[in-house]
Chain A
Amino acid sequence: MWWRSIGLKAFYDQSRATLGLALFMAAYAGLIMGIYPSISGIIEIGPLFERLPEAFRVMFAPGGLDITTPEGFVAAEFFSIIGPLLFFAYTIGIGGSATAGEEERGTIDLLMSLPIPRWRVVLEKYVTVVVGTVVLGAALVMGMAAGAFAGGIDLRYDGIGAIVASAILLGLLFGALALFVGALTGRRTFSIGVAFALAVASYLVYSLSALVDLIKPLRPFSPFTYYIGGNPLSNGLNAVDAGILAGATIVLVVLAVVAFRRRDLRV
């Protein structure tokens, strides 16, 4: 059944990466959740956190997060940096390899000699990234649930669900960016590099904008603002923020299709 379509084959090709990363993310988040009771039993996180310099507080607890709750703790520990990075590794890696990977390996000329429109290759491959990223998100929620169960914590799943959904949207945005650069240039490592650099830059802009006035005007341009600035853990998924992330993603995918259709393939 894996050879029925471009999307299914792509999903097969990345199944190992998906499975491995899903297990890792579930275990990592579960572990953080599991150790929360022991940590909160020993030290009072709140007063400790208050004594930290503001720069650290902004970085680890973006959007005025209350990190004394289990959700807040896991959000600070996982969703501030590590979580997005793991999502990026997946979406950017696979998005950047989608068409550019076939071009660099040299399989694209045989593939495009078939009666398949170019837009379909781009779209099917991107849908595969979406499906895989949702799988990662689901694994993450399950891992946290298992950790919470083991630690005897009562988790608020609406908040967790909102921040995971937000992280998925953020990951998909940069995956679409890598897809677009790859479709435009046909260069896999270049597209991955560009997307990753911009992801890091947007993280820095967001976290430093709380501290440095000079950077503050750049804040609306950082996707991280729409990812976590609205504190989805406490407030639920903000429709406008999610819409901005999803809209930018759709624009990039459309641009990727346009770029890939217009261009000579690198054969």
Chain B
Amino acid sequence: MTASHGDPVIRTAGLTRHYGPVVALSGLDLDVVRGEVFGYLGPNAAGKTTTIRILLDLIRPTAGAAFLFGRDSRREGLAIRRRVGYLPGEMTLYENLTGRQFLSYFAALRGGVEWAYVDRLAERFAADLGPRIRTLSHGNRQKLGLIQAFMHRPELLILDEPTVGLDPLMQQEFYALIADARAAGQTVFVSSHVIPEVERTCDRVGILRNGRLLTVERISALKAKAIRHVEIRFAEPVPADAFAWLPGTRDMRVDGDVVRCAVVGAIDQLVKAAARFEVVEINSAEPSLEELFLTYYEPAQPAAAQVTEPTPPPRAAEPSPPPPGEAPLPQEPASERAKDDHVVA
């Protein structure tokens, strides 16, 4: 979709950054095209913030180069930053100013913005611009940060872990803001260490680990790979063989009235199997990044081979197969060995 056409808004070529002996970023080649919402996923210290700081020319690369709107980040930073809105990961604001004074200041330094739009954004986030920033909670500061990032309607938004500290209601509002930005044709580059957040907001995702880009994928492909741990509690003990042969599950344990397993990709088959009995509770931990990494590092190793993936039955509710041209799911044909891996209590 978006990945196939459009000019790159962000392009990095061999971008590398060392801090003394520590390699924070290593040979990053990245393309973010106009109009897409690009998720930059990785654990803490993966190099996400380092990348973003280089894009904004706050720090300089050890090697390689970054281009935004086709311009060199080092030489034409001024022209670039005019068209970018930025939300830092760890943001410090001017404590002695009120929210309104702070936004006035940044609006002036940007050469003026349409103030009615600032008011609309403030209303949308229910942000009170009156009190001094010193007195504001983390969430309310984050709102000011979001408003200043969006207020000049930039072509590109660079958001570093934007939902950290926002309450669930404001997170929803943030997702809606991203959707609006996408609809308005703005490009969004958003970093995160939470898989579901990226799944929910982004078109494509680049996965970063230890300063290296593991892969860039469509969200659908990421969803197909993400591993989710699920625990289902039933009203009464369930027969183990009812769950023994489910596509896309692994580490299945049936223990009286509790079923625990890991689900790769869509959870549909498991839910349908469970629906035959009286379900009391379903708990699902959020997909873990570390487990996702394993699928990229060791696609044919035992950990991934435990996944049972028989030929999909012809049903409409099946998860869509990965788009052509992308790496296939780590999977093996159904085998007796895989079947034996299930612990049947």
Contacts and interface: CB of A to CB of B under 8 A. Distances in A.
B53 A109 contact: yes
A42 interface: no
Nearest to A262: B60
A13 B109 CA distance: 17
Contact of A109 (B58, B60, B78, B104): B58
A139 B59 CA distance: 42
A51 interface: no
Given A114-B110, A116-B109, A107 B82 contact: no
A105 B90 CA distance: 11
B139 interface: no
A3 B104 contact: yes
Contacts of A13: 96
Interface in A69-86: none
- Chain B CB within 10 A, most for which of A105, A109, A111, A113: A113
A267 B53 contact: yes
Interface string A131-146: 0000000000000000
A19 interface: no
Nearest to B78: A115
B117 interface: no
Contacts of B91: 106, 110
Given A115-B78, A115-B110, A3 B93 contact: no
B4 interface: no
A3 B104 CA distance: 6
A6 interface: yes
Interface in B27-56: 53, 56
Interface string B81-92: 110101010111
Given A106-B90, A115-B81, A267 B106 contact: no
Contacts of B96: 13
A9 B53 contact: no
- Chain B CB within 10 A, most for which of A3, A6, A112, A265: A3
B269 interface: no
Contacts, number: 66
B59 A3 contact: no
Contacts of B97: 3
Interface string A1-43: 0111110010001000000000000000000000000000000
Contacts of A105: 92
Interface in B91-129: 91-94, 96-97, 101, 104-106, 108-111
B94 A107 contact: yes
A262 B90 CA distance: 23
Interface residues of A, number: 23
A50 interface: no
Nearest to B56: A113
A110 B149 CA distance: 10
A4 B108 contact: yes
Contacts of B53: 109, 265, 267
Contact of A113 (B60, B86, B108): B86
A117 interface: yes
Interface string B119-148: 000000000000000000000000001001
Contact of B86 (A5, A107, A110, A264): A110
A264 B60 contact: yes
Contacts of A6: 109
Contact of A106 (B60, B86, B92, B108): B92
A157 B2 CA distance: 74
Given A115-B82, A267-B53, A267-B58, A110 B105 contact: no
B106 A114 contact: yes
Interface string A212-236: 0000000000000000000000000
Nearest to B60: A264
Nearest to B81: A115
Contact of B109 (A107, A109, A114, A264): A114
A148 to B, nearest CB: 38
Nearest to A6: B109
A156 to B, nearest CB: 42
A109 B81 CA distance: 12
Contacts of B88: 109-110, 113, 267
B229 to A, nearest CB: 36
Contacts of B59: 264-265, 267
A110 B105 CA distance: 12
A114 B85 CA distance: 8
A265 B92 contact: no
A3 B110 contact: no
A3 B112 CA distance: 11
A4 B94 CA distance: 15
A117 B108 contact: no
B109 A5 contact: yes
Contacts of A115: 78-79, 81-82, 109-111
Contacts of B145: 110
Contacts of A117: 78
Nearest to B158: A113
A2 B102 CA distance: 11
8 contacts: A5-B109, A110-B92, A110-B148, A113-B58, A113-B86, A113-B88, A264-B59, A267-B59
In the A-B complex, the 3 residue pairs with the smallest Cβ-Cβ separation, listed nearest first, are A106-B92, A3-B105, A264-B59
Interface of B: 53, 56-60, 78-79, 81-82, 84, 86, 88, 90-94, 96-97, 101, 104-106, 108-111, 145, 148
Given A105-B92, A110-B88, A113-B86, 8 more contacts: A3-B101, A3-B105, A110-B91, A110-B93, A113-B58, A114-B109, A115-B78, A267-B58
